[in-house]
Amino acid sequence: MLLCATAVMLLASCSCGEKKAKYVFYFIGDGMGFSHISLAEGYLATKAGKIGNDPLCFTQFPVMGMATSYSANKYITCSSAAGTALATGTKTNNGMLGTTPDSSNLTAISYKIHNAGFPVGVTTSVTIDHATPGSFYANSTARSDYYGISEQLATSGFEFFGGGGFYGAKDKRHQEKSLYEIAAENGYEFAYGVKDYKAKKSQGAEKVILFQEDEAKRNNDLPYVHERVEGDLTLPEVVTAAVDFLNNENGFFLMVEGGKIDWAAHSNELVGTVFELLDFDQAIAVAYEFYKQHPDETLIVVTADHETGGVTLGRGKGYAYDLSVIDKVAGAEGAEGTDVSNYMQDISNDSLSVAAQIGWTTTSHTGGAVPVFAVGAGSEMFAGRQDNTDIPKKICKAMGVAF
């Protein structure tokens, strides 16, 4: 949040929209509805001992809009149909990834941008073959074919991947031919943890895949913020490495998914939802620091694929909610270095939400529109009402890349 202290002043003097966007960040908060954002802001205000909403980094961006999120066959989208819309500009059926409803392959903007000469990075806090990152490099009629999706990662040619490992390593095909082997055959160097990343980069690696240092955790999603232990890879670290690796005078394109906002919200976990959102904001703050160095040529777009959990700020009767319960749990002190696991073992998440007067209406997704925030070159295009399929088209336009 401190990183954004000078945001308003800088933004006021920004003459955005003149130059093409050369450095582009595309952040997707999986499951991040408007209420999730208010929840995180309410938590920050509560910590400061007041009633209010303390802004996040990205909620101070000067451009705000909304995006409708329905899929081709459902009012309520799943992450692969929404990821496909956000990556290719075409709606598809729930469960499909990078294909039309009649199974024709679509081309994600990441390929169009790559073909135009920009290095590309795809990163996430869940496994790298999950629906949202997969939408940016794969075509599959089944989002659950993790092995098949990871094979396409290996042949994408994109310069940087980072986050949770190959869920597809659990597939029996992986025993016959390892996904690690396939990626290595295609010129990828694996970096396990930040230190190893730095070593691989200094050794001249041309394409990098950054996973967890701990081998036992490697093919899982990155740990929840509140379950993190020393040495665990974090989403802000992944973004820092990606920027370091991709940065060059010709520009780059980086997609970042905050995937565990969705997972926490599916479980109706109040603490996880708030802390994952704050962590996602910290990852965006890394991009914002970069933006401040290149304000005329950087574009940051932040959106979501859908809302998860139907979370409400308020529950039952009365005009109040109380997020102070979050910090009362087992020594919890905030998003960094917090351990709330003891509390979670003792009391159900639902009890915590009841105590906080936070409501949940579903353990699935909901069908509302999602927020869009943007700053930098071309950001004004993202204001107002749009469909999720419009966003990738606008990104290409901002970059001067043919859609």
- Site residues (vs Zn ion, CB under 5 A): 262
Smallest gap from residue 227 Cβ to Zn ion (A): 19
Nearest CA to 144 among 96, 77, 91?
96
Nearer to Zn ion, 32 or 208 (CB): 32
Burial 22-32, CB ≥16 within 10 A → b, else e? bbbbbbbbbbb
Nearer to Zn ion, 113 or 270 (CB): 270
The continuous run of DSSP H or E covering 291 comes out as helix 270-293
Residue carrying the six token digits 């204001």: 383
Smallest gap from residue 131 Cβ to Zn ion (A): 8
Side-chain half-sphere CA neighbours of 64 within 13 A: 9
Nearer to Zn ion, 262 or 390 (CB): 262
Smallest gap from residue 30 Cβ to Zn ion (A): 6
Smallest gap from residue 333 Cβ to Zn ion (A): 29
Nearest CA to 130 among 56, 47, 222?
222
CA angle in degrees (0–180, nearest 5) for 89-92-93: 160
Q: Which residues pair with 190 in a beta bridge?
A: 209
Smallest gap from residue 391 Cβ to Zn ion (A): 19
Residue carrying the six token digits 């999120």: 69
Q: Which residues pair with 283 in a beta bridge?
A: none
Smallest gap from residue 265 Cβ to Zn ion (A): 8
Which residue lies nearest Zn ion, judged by its C-beta? Answer: 262
CA angle in degrees (0–180, nearest 5) for 33-36-40: 150
Nearest CA to 235 among 132, 84, 92?
132
Smallest gap from residue 305 Cβ to Zn ion (A): 8
Nearer to Zn ion, 145 or 262 (CB): 262
| Residues 165 and 220: beta-carbon distance below 8 Å | yes
